[in-house]
Chain A
Amino acid sequence: MPRIRNLCRAALFMPAMMSFIIVGYVWSFILSPFSGGLNAFLDLMGLSAFKHEWLGDPVTALVLVAIAHVWMFTGYTCAIFLAGYANIPADLEEAARLDGANGWQRFWRIQLPLLAPSFTVNIMLSTIGTMKAFELPFVMTKGGPDGATQTVGLQIIQTLFQEYRFGLASALSIVLLVVVLLVAFVQNRVLRLREDLL
């Protein structure tokens, strides 16, 4: 069991060690309409009706940029949860088992509440990290189609690199910073409260 756990942990963590640029390129190619892997896979499964220009449709483009993001950081999130699991005292688990709690009950009543600190860290890291995200849209869609995947971060980068409007870019960055800090502050308060209540 520890062997399998370490193997899975390492395998899932791998994408987080890759660069956004490379992840963006690889996913763009997987999703490309003609020679991409996803459409070819659908063909293979006899599901040709579902073939799609994935990054050319505003709805699927946004969803798939998000999926690429999730793919990249699932292992990272898992590793934090695993560290949280390791902190749960073994005798609690043992006591619940002796009281006749089954696997589900132990998960819902004991492990989940005790994982509250890991939830706090993971939720905060992913919201803050995603709010300032711009890399994958930058590589995969350039914010398109029709602004569907435009993020504030990407807007800043474009203002900077394409329009060379340094003042405007700075102003946008400050606004984003304030929003991120506000959200982080509120989240931190709420999640800490939740930890105390559980």
Chain B
Amino acid sequence: MKISIRQTTRFLAHVLVLGLVAVMLLPVAYMLLMSFRNGQEVVNAPLALPEHWRFENYANAYEKMSYLRSILNSLGITIAVTIAVSFTGALAAYPLSRSKSRSTQIMISLLSLCLATPSFVTITPIYETFARIGLLDSYLGIILAFTALNLPLAVFFYTSFIRAIPKELEEAAELDGCSQFQIFWHVIRPLLGPATATLSLFVMLMVWNDFIYPLLLLTDDKKFTVMMSVYHFVGNHSLNPEELFPAAVLGSLPLLVLFIVFQRRIVNGITAGAVK
């Protein structure tokens, strides 16, 4: 069999690309491998592979982080926020995508202002308000805060999505005597599935990975989200590898598993969200 120069260079190019990607993955591999070693072993030979696979690191982290509890907290908050944000977001987006009046335009530019606002700009007002009405350290408080933070994105997302839905559908429903809300509920809402799926991804990423809002709003460790437990377990002063790495792996695990399963959908959803 003959191999042409072209094929060889192509093969070499692939090897080069895969090599570079492997280098990018080194920190992840490092995290995984180190999580099975104890502190003394890491000090003695910082780069050695694990000699004994110390699963007890994980057992320890699992217990001290109250891992299951914090996973359930994060999951519950994600679900509640997704429901709240998709319902209110879609309701707001429907008129915004259909009306062309001046006030609508102003509303839309205000929304894009909200999109550019760093999340900590709203921390102080949210904290002060919640302190006054007794929402600190409650699930309801953190759910409301995350809903508010995700709402501009949701409205933006749904607005562009609803614009693409042909108006004829609504006109037909209107002739049949449907009210505006009935049109929304029976015609528009059933079509929003894909947009809601992508949106829930963004909500999920935020709820799992953000730690400033939970840090400020939650003090009871029974209500901690996953990242809060990681932060509390590992601390911030001396980094102990046999605590740090298992906690890091456990903390990233749910999202990474989800990512591996829905890889294509997640990347497409997030890039589409960014491009719009």
Contacts and interface: CB of A to CB of B under 8 A. Distances in A.
Interface of A: 4, 6-15, 17-22, 25-30, 32, 34-37, 39-41, 44, 71, 74-76, 79-80, 82-83, 117-118, 121, 125, 128, 132, 134-135, 139, 142, 153, 156-157, 160-161, 166, 169-170, 173-174, 176-177, 180-181, 184
Interface string B1-30: 000000000000010011001001101101
B120 A157 contact: yes
Interface of B: 14, 17-18, 21, 24-25, 27-28, 30-31, 34, 42-43, 45-47, 113, 116-118, 120-121, 123-125, 127-128, 205, 208-209, 211-212, 215-216, 227, 230-231, 234, 236, 239, 241, 244-245, 248, 251-252, 255-256, 259-260, 263-264, 266-268, 270-272, 274-275
Contacts of B120: 132, 134, 153, 156-157, 160, 173
Given A19-B227, A22-B248, A184-B116, A176 B267 contact: no
A170 B30 contact: no
Contact of A19 (B21, B208, B241): B208
Contact of B124 (A12, A30, A82, A166): A166
A41 B256 contact: no
A15 B26 CA distance: 11
Q: A interface, by DSSP: helix, strand, loop or mixed?
A: helix
B contacts with A: majority SS: helix
A170 to B, nearest CB: 5
A61 to B, nearest CB: 16
Contacts of B266: 13, 17
Given A83-B275, A153-B118, A28 B47 contact: no
A76 B215 CA distance: 27
Contact of B46 (A4, A35, A82, A134): A35
16 contacts: A9-B267, A10-B260, A11-B25, A12-B24, A19-B211, A19-B252, A22-B230, A35-B43, A76-B271, A79-B267, A79-B270, A80-B271, A83-B271, A169-B123, A176-B118, A181-B116
B46 A39 contact: yes
A17 B47 CA distance: 25
B125 A17 contact: no
B125 A170 contact: yes
A10 B263 contact: yes
B47 A14 contact: no
Contacts of B125: 170
A132 B17 contact: no
Given A25-B239, A29-B241, A44-B47, A177 B121 contact: yes
Contacts of B127: 166
A28 B267 contact: no
A72 to B, nearest CB: 10
Contacts of A82: 271
A32 B237 CA distance: 12
A9 B142 CA distance: 33
B17 A4 contact: yes
A-B pairs, top 10 by smallest CB distance, nearest first, are A40-B46, A132-B118, A19-B209, A173-B121, A40-B47, A22-B248, A170-B124, A10-B263, A79-B271, A35-B46
Contacts of B116: 128, 177, 180-181, 184
Contact of A17 (B117, B244, B256): B256
Contacts of A25: 230, 234, 239, 244, 248
Contacts of A157: 120, 212
B118 to A, nearest CB: 4
B231 to A, nearest CB: 6
Nearest to A169: B124
Contact of A8 (B21, B239, B259): B21
Contact of B27 (A30, A76, A177): A30
A74 B117 CA distance: 23
A73 to B, nearest CB: 11
A128 B268 CA distance: 21
Contacts of A176: 118, 121
A17 B252 contact: yes
B124 A173 contact: yes
A82 B264 CA distance: 13
Nearest to B260: A10
A29 B31 CA distance: 9
